[in-house]
Chains A and B, each alone.
Chain A
Amino acid sequence: MNSDNPQVTFIVGEERCLSRIISRAEIEPLLRSLVKAGPVRAAVLDEERLPLCSQGDDRPLEQLREIRHPLLVEGEPQGMLVIAVDPETCSSAEALALLARDALQLTITNNLKRMLTTEMHTTIVQESYDQLVETNQQLVESERRYRELATLLERKVEERTAELKKAYSRMLQQEKLAAVGGLAAGMAHEINNPNGFVRSNLVTLNRYVERMKEMLNLYQLLIARNAPLLQLREETEQRRRALKLEFVVSDSTALLEQSVEGTDRIARIVADLKAFSHVDETGDCDADLNGELERIIAVLTPQIPPETAILRDLQPLPLFGCNPGMLSQAFFNIIQNAIQSRDNGLKINISTARENNDIVITVADNGCGIPELNLTRVFEPFFTTREVGRGTGMGLTVAREIIRNAEGNIEIDSREGFGTTVTIRLPHKQITTDRTTHE
């Protein structure tokens, strides 16, 4: 738009001619007064010696006297004031001419000054305007760049947020895997134990079966031979004793019962582990939190120090709509902390209760406690006081995240050397409205 504006360029010092500095209208009143004061005519000639303005009558010059004064522009004579007087009638002609010249000269100089000032001013205004336009363009450009950057930044933030979300769910997954992995060692022992005696029972039972087969074969042989009853009774009795079948039969029953009990134990452990890991579940459903807690205690059993007292005070709770796999991970982390808080004489109180519309779960131990200095930092990611390799520093971080996702909150109260109490408060919600139809 501004490029269409005609730009006026002034060169400071450009030569100016008289006719452009002073106008006829400015000269005329002066010359008119001059003529009234005596002279016959008065005229101002421009740089080309052409009359710019003239007043008076055109009486022939022969009877008159002419007075000429140059008019200066920047010190240079450019025009001429010409006055014709009748020497008879006008005595003060010289003085009048000088007066008129000075007045004209002053007007010329002042006009020139005004022109130069105006031109200079216009030039400066023009330049300021150009600068403003340029600055404005730069501003528009930088605004555009900033907007681009902002959009880019927004996109980056979105990307990072998505990444973070992914990383977070990966972290939960890893935490879960770590927990299951940590459980595996203890579980292996728990499973190996029954598995071992079941196997040894089976080996023994196999031997017993051989003896029973031998006994049966004897019966079959004697019957096939049509042996007399007396002989049959004597020989079988003898073999029965030799094979200790009395004991074998009664022991078999005991071994079988024991084995069934052993496989049941394995099945229970696997079921607990499976239930704890919630491998089959995805998403939210209604969960029995007391059941979850029991299972967590069960899977943690191998890690519990000997002679530990675990007291449960689990009040009946309504089903709780949540992601049970997640929530059990949170409980697991908290209970595991309690288990690791002391080596002997450990007492853990686990209680659940309903308070108004909230479900409150409390895990209290009489363990080592948390120093006051660390109390504010326990939820920080990677904060751990355990030696390298023993703790990830993520346990409570993850627990808090899970509980916050369930719109609950977690509080830790601890005194160093006396124990720690963790209180979890979850606002109750249920996914299925009618509990009976669910069951």
Chain B
Amino acid sequence: MIEFDEQQQRMVLKLVYYGPALSGKTTNLLTLHDQLTLDGRGDLMMLDTTEDRTIYFDLLPFFYVAPSGMKIKLKVYTVPGQVRHDATRKAVLQRADGVVFVADSHAAQMSVNFESFDNLEKNLALVGLSFEQLPLVVQFNKRDLPDIVAENEIRSAWGPTGLPVIMASALKGWGVVETFREVLRLTFDAVNSRHGLTERYGVEREFFLAEILKVQQ
């Protein structure tokens, strides 16, 4: 959590889209930006890139104000996937409240996915976050492409982890909002159990989700 000011009734949460290079993390954010209504969110801010590759991060902010006046700001980040930007990944991961791991479905990318996942596990430990307790959703992206690993294979490989696994094509625009909904739900539950969002501040999960996930007309 970035910030929680009880007097000001203001909470700032952080979600991070993690994953190997070119798995489509920025595309996820662009799709959310396009599909979700402008009402209740800011613009997508993309920091410097080289040859269209993220080198720092992208940021998409969301806002929710509960009937009680409690304000929740949600900052959604991507990390650079390239191995050499590990320091940046670590910095972005600090104080994250939830993580989406965007994996590349291409058959040749499986080992890269595992490497990146290992890297996530290692970096979470380095920034003092618990891998077991942190809300984490796995998205297998690029399902629209040929030469991808079959869904049942993915499910049997990742099933034992107990993590929610969602199939998506960020480019085609499907699976993205579902992924976001899942990580939001888990994150809300986690924060709620720690800070009593519903009980103490009257923030209802379904309203919160519905408000943030309002699709553009």
Residues of A within 8 A of B (CB): 10-15, 72, 74-76, 109, 112-113, 116-117, 120, 123-124, 127-128
Contacts and interface: CB of A to CB of B under 8 A. Distances in A.
Contacts, number: 64
Interface in B74-91: 75, 77, 87-88, 90-91
Contact of A12 (B43, B48, B57): B57
Given A113-B48, A120-B91, 8 more contacts: A11-B94, A13-B2, A13-B75, A13-B77, A15-B2, A76-B61, A76-B73, A120-B88
Interface residues of B, number: 25
B106 interface: no
B87 A72 contact: no
Nearest to A72: B42
Nearest to B76: A13
A400 B22 CA distance: 73
Given A12-B92, A76-B42, A76-B63, A116 B12 contact: no
B2 A116 contact: no
Given A116-B56, A123-B87, A124-B91, A75 B42 contact: yes
Interface in B25-78: 41-43, 45, 47-48, 56-57, 59, 61, 63, 73, 75, 77
A74 B87 contact: no
A113 B47 CA distance: 6
B14 interface: yes
B148 to A, nearest CB: 32
A109 B59 CA distance: 12
Contacts of B94: 11-12
A117 B2 contact: no
Contacts of B115: none
Contact of B2 (A14, A75, A113): A14
Nearest to A14: B2
Nearest to B57: A12
Among all A-B residue pairs, the 8 with the closest Cβ atoms: A75-B42, A124-B87, A74-B61, A127-B87, A13-B2, A75-B61, A123-B91, A13-B75
28 contacts: A10-B91, A11-B2, A11-B94, A11-B95, A12-B14, A12-B92, A12-B94, A13-B75, A15-B2, A15-B12, A75-B41, A75-B42, A75-B63, A76-B42, A76-B61, A76-B73, A109-B43, A112-B45, A116-B47, A116-B56, A116-B59, A117-B56, A120-B57, A123-B87, A124-B87, A124-B88, A124-B91, A128-B87
| Max count, chain B CB within 10 A of own CB: residue among A109, A112, A124 | A124
A213 B45 CA distance: 143
Nearest to B15: A13
| Max count, chain B CB within 10 A of own CB: residue among A14, A74, A76, A109 | A74
B129 to A, nearest CB: 13
Interface in B88-106: 88, 90-92, 94-95
B3 interface: yes
A160 to B, nearest CB: 46
B61 A12 contact: no
Contacts of A10: 91
A74 B3 CA distance: 15
